[in-house]
Amino acid sequence: MPGRPSLAGRSLLPVLRPTSGMGGGGSALKVCADHRGGINWLSLSPDGQRLLTGSEDGTARLWSTADGQCCALLQGHESYVTFCQLEDEAAFTCSADCTIRKWDVLTGQCLQVFRGHTSIVNRILVANNQLFSSSYDRTARAWNVDKGQVSWEFRGHRNCVLTLAYLASWDLPGAPCMEEAMAGGLLVTGSTDGTAKVWQVASGCCHQTLRGHTGAVLCLVLDTPSHTAFTGSTDATIRAWDILSGEQLRVFREHQGSVICLELVNRHVYSGSADRTVKCWLADTGERVRTFAAHGHSVSALKYHAGTLFTGSGDARARAFDAQSGALRRVFRGHAFIINCIQVGAPALSRAPCLFTGARASPVASASEGKWEVRSRAYPGAENPLAETSPSVGLGNRSSRRCSGRRRPEAERGPCWGGGTAGRALQRPPHAPRPQVHGQVLYTASHDGTLRLWGVRGLPRSPPPRPGTPKRSLSRLFNNKVGCAAAAPLQPT
């Protein structure tokens, strides 16, 4: 039965205790901690009016970016929410209960339950009026969004399917011999079996299997114009593939740990790794041109925006780097645990450039105690244009405890991404969030259970594009659309 909505009009209460940071701009403007478990993903609607968070507590919440209030509590899942995607008229969530749910964003009512997977659903992607999903059951599936029925089941991987990317038919070559096979576009999946596969959506057939990695494929990004896929793996490499022919084009080697997240911007590939660094590579040659090394733990999230590279890390901090020089510009402190996802956007409540962050329940104050702090602070803004960016894809984080406080069995826990503070390792399983861009605010979501908004005023603007520089790909992955919504002035609290 679809879950009944529970409206919660709790606003973000102001408590003026800003967090210190570099450059005078590392203060959290707002901290929302209504979830009673870690936030596994956050998603901003294409129009910028709503924000959706999915949590370890088994719920998702819709927030208004105009006033910071919780518009709806989406209840119905029987286990933790692994991922969510927010569109203008509908919200989609997937869960460890093996189901996917579609929700009305105005009423919070569950409109459809998609059943069929037999294990944890890791990722979902809504594109071209279709819903795609990946699961621990070793399959990916295509669903009819309106009817909730499975259109195709993609079988062939020998282990968990982690990542998804979609290439629409109009972005593919129009050779007569390929038109019918490519009519529905191509779905690309990455798996812990060490392979990525390219599927013909119209027929459900496997078009190519991309073999070469010697470890799990954790993250994936597509370059539409060149029909190239970039995959990152636990074997510490990034590989570029021609998804039409299946040919391996090049291998990027230099990381000393698993490649957790990828970002493709202006013919540059940015990679975040368990070796505590981000590296910048030339997409066309594989040459490393820059290393960003200031993190105290694995780099778990990446997002490029207007000449600035934002990162989230297992050391519970977000950072802003000058993408051109590699200089560290700002550190955003305040989270208590690993940052799962970051987004840059311009919410309706402010024209100020800000950063939103989110985390799981703090190890100091248990999520089950329901003790949360909420901060708010007015912050003047700057007019920064939204840079075109490529969505990132990668493994997400799973908390070590469920919302009930009961420890998960060992079989459910993800791979270890290196030693944490005081030698404690952090878990990073395949359903946690990745970063997304939407305007001029930085959002972060973390295992400490909080969603945070940060001011990013004063960060450098992007340099003017060079003549003849090709525009980066806007290929649809499982992220939201990129856009900049009109914003109303922020009223001082």
pLDDT in tens, 189-235: 999 999 999 999 999 999 999 999 999 999 999 999 999 999 999 99
User: pLDDT value at position 44?
Assistant: 86
User: pLDDT value at position 358?
Assistant: 55
pLDDT in tens, 336-347: 999 999 888 765
User: pLDDT value at position 491?
Assistant: 37
The pTM of the full predicted model, rounded to 2 decimals, is 0.73
Q: Assign 142 a pLDDT band (cuts: 50, 70, 90).
A: very high
User: pLDDT value at position 367?
Assistant: 28
pLDDT in tens, 370-421: 222 223 333 222 222 222 233 333 333 333 333 333 333 333 333 222 223 2
User: pLDDT value at position 399?
Assistant: 35
Asked if residue 353 has pLDDT above 70, the reply is no
User: pLDDT value at position 191?
Assistant: 98
User: pLDDT value at position 5?
Assistant: 39
User: pLDDT value at position 128?
Assistant: 84
Q: Assign 355 a pLDDT band (cuts: 50, 70, 90).
A: low
- What 3 state SS string does the chain have? CCCCCECCCCCCCCCCCCCCEHHHCCCEEEEECCCCCCEEEEEECCCCCEEEEEECCCCEEEEECCCCCEEEEECCCCCCEEEEEECCCEEEEEECCCCEEEEECCCCCEEEEECCCCCCEEEEEEECCEEEEEECCCEEEEEECCCCCEEEEEECCCCCEEEEEEECHHHCCCCHHHHCCCCCCEEEEEECCCCEEEEECCCCCEEEEECCCCCCEEEEEEECCCCEEEEEECCCEEEEEECCCCCEEEEEECCCCCEEEEEEECCEEEEEECCCCEEEEECCCCCEEEEECCCCCCEEEEEEECCEEEEEECCCCEEEEECCCCCEEEEECCCCCCEEEEEEECCCCCCCCEEEEEECCCCCCCHHHCCCCCCECCCCCCCCCCCCCCCCCECCCCCCECCCCCECCHHHCCCEEEECHHHCEEECCCCCCCCEEECCCEEEEECCCCEEEEECCCCCCCCCCCCCCCCCCCCCCCCCCCCCCCCCCCCCC
Asked if residue 179 has pLDDT above 70, the reply is no
Asked if residue 317 has pLDDT above 70, the reply is yes
Report the percent of the chain where pLDDT is more than 90: 54
